Amino acid sequence: MGNWPTIPFPLPPTMRHMKTTARAGSNIAFIKYWGNLIDDIRVPRNNSVAMTLSHCHTVSTVGLDAGLQSDEVFQGEGMMGDEERRRASQHLENIRRAAGRNEYARIATKSSFPAGCGIASSASAFAAITAAACKAYGLETDSTEMSKLARLGSASASRSCFGGFVELLAGRSHEDTYSVQVAPERHWPELRDVIAVVSRERKSVSSSVGHVMAKTSPLYEARISSLPPEISRVKAAILDKDLTALGEILEREALCLHAIAMTSRPPILYWVQETIAILHAVRSWREEGVHAYFTIDAGPNVHIITTSDCVRPVLSRLDALGVSDTIVDEPGGGPVFLDEHLF
Ligand code: PMV
């Protein structure tokens, strides 16, 4: 499985078989997952807390075909990179094993946003693939079981198996590491994630590599031990809909993650000049009464967490900074099945 064909959608009629399609939202972590206890099955060292997004999503179609000699992974617009495509096939194998099935499948995914640049594309991709593949292989799963399986593809995908505000509980094995909903999307519908897209380029160091390297940072253990009270505070801030309390923690947390990345050996520097300019700007906007806070995943793009009434002032200020490529997102629901297929 090395060469991944790129073909136009829709696929020719001869390639159409029994198939299932699911859509799942990406998510933005307020408390980040960074580093694993068990790398190969993606059991994280720490719990993480995120908001599932509505507009940044991935659609995935999985079609079983007993005649295939291997999985075929097709590329849609905004599709994952090579590494993720290899991972998609590996992930199908996890689901086949759980379902006790052995037919290979065709799989296609299409995302509504740029991949691999800090907008958690693997979260929505692996959640959508998991939902579609479980159904295609006849594996009956509730959201909890699905969140365990999705985690094998990408741990952040585990959180996308639920809508709203979600915590990934880091256990010590596959069975006790899954996600739970903290609050549904309707709990805080006015919360917004304004994504300032300063680069659509794929990052040079993937999150998977970053997780492995995290342990080489002298700051890593300090972050892990400082997290439990931060996690309790973040969940309380979500339940109280307290943006000031949430914002203080999420800025601190994002800086902490990047401090670890920057002090890993070799160091990983995800930020570009515009990233830093936006961090300073968001702080100064608060002094002007714009209630907004930043967080950054593993990439240069900045997520500005705010409320619906501040979206306009945030967008106009970003524009004045020269950042006009933006995505405005909001709390979204869990995975859904669609009648329309990608092929
Ligand atoms: O699930 P992964 O391997 O793509 O890692 C996600 C890492 C961060 O986005 C930086 C943090 C997070 O919790 O989403």
Ligand 1 near 29 CB (within 6 A): yes
Whole-Å CA distances, 265 to 37, 39, 203, 204, 216: 18, 18, 17, 15, 6
Going 44 to 80 to 252 to 55, the CA torsion angle's sign is: negative
Return the ligand 1 atom nearest residue 32 CA. 13
* Residue 303 CA, ligand 1 centroid: distance in Å: 14
Per-residue pLDDT at 17: 52
What would the two tokens of residue 165 be?
Answer: 């505000």
Q: Which of 32, 209, 231, 296 to mutate to test the pocket of ligand 1 (most atoms within 8 A of CB)?
A: 32
Cα-only R_g, the chain: 19
Residue of 156, 203, 268 to mutate, ligand 1, most atoms within 8 A of C-beta: 156
pLDDT 10s digits, 234-259: 999 999 999 999 999 999 999 999 99
pLDDT at position 244: 98
Cα 51 from Cα 167, distance rounded (Å): 9
Check if 87 has its Cβ closer than 6 Å to any atom of ligand 1: no
Q: With a cut of 60, say whether residue 16 has pLDDT above it.
A: no
Q: Using 50, 70 and 90 to split pLDDT, how confident is the model at 79?
A: very low
pLDDT, tens only, 113-144: 887 666 778 999 999 999 999 999 999 999 99
**Rounded distance from Cα 107 to ligand 1 centre (Å):** 23
Mean pLDDT of the chain: 92
- Give the position of tokens 């304004």: 194
| Lowest-confidence pick of 91-100, 110-119, 166-175 | 110-119
- The predicted structure's pLDDT at residue 121: 83
Residue 154 Cβ < 6 Å to ligand 1 = yes
Q: Which atom of ligand 1 is nearest to the CA of 168?
A: 13
Averaged pLDDT for residues 59-72: 94
Distance CA 180, CA 49 (A): 10
Name the residue among 299, 217, 226 with its Cα closest to residue 263.
Answer: 217
4 CA to centre of ligand 1 in angstroms: 25
